[in-house]
Amino acid sequence: MRSVSLLAVIALSACSTVPTRAQHDLIGTSRSDLIACAGVPDNRELLPDGEVLEWRQDAQVQGPLTIKTPLSFELDVGGRGTCHLVARLRQGRVAQIEYTGPSATLTGPYAACRPLVLACERRTHK
């Protein structure tokens, strides 16, 4: 039973570690590679020293635990979150990755950001 509990905790924490790892792993990624793995950005702002690209996950990402009872009562223990991925580029390469929005769910502080960076993370660990 103890090993099953430990496995569940590790699996749940994986949802929040992907965005955290991406903040480091994607530094230095070219603009074209970032767009190839994350998709076309929702917003773009040119700056004197580079640009900022933003991807929006505005659909509520639900945590893994919802309790439904008779009489249409529902308790969402996992939480819900949204995420905006903000990438700052300098000289055509990623210099900084940040997340904004209420992105915390039961699976971690940036769990709602996982869908935005998962393909990029998989690409960096091939």
User: DSSP string covering the chain, please?
Assistant: -HHHHHHHHHHHHHHHHHHHHHHHHTTT-BHHHHHHHH-S-SEEEEETTEEEEEEEEEEEEEPS-EEEEGGGEEEE-S-EEEEEEEEEEETTEEEEEEEESS--BTTBTTGGGHHHHHHHHHHHT-
Residue 1 pLDDT greater than 90, yes or no: no
Name which of 111, 113, 80 is nearest 98 in CA terms.
113
**Structural domain boundaries in the chain:** 2-124
Phi, psi of 78 (to 5 degrees): -75, -20
Q: Whole-model pTM?
A: 0.73
pLDDT digit string, tens, across residues 53-107: 999 988 776 555 566 677 766 655 555 678 899 999 999 999 999 999 876 666 6
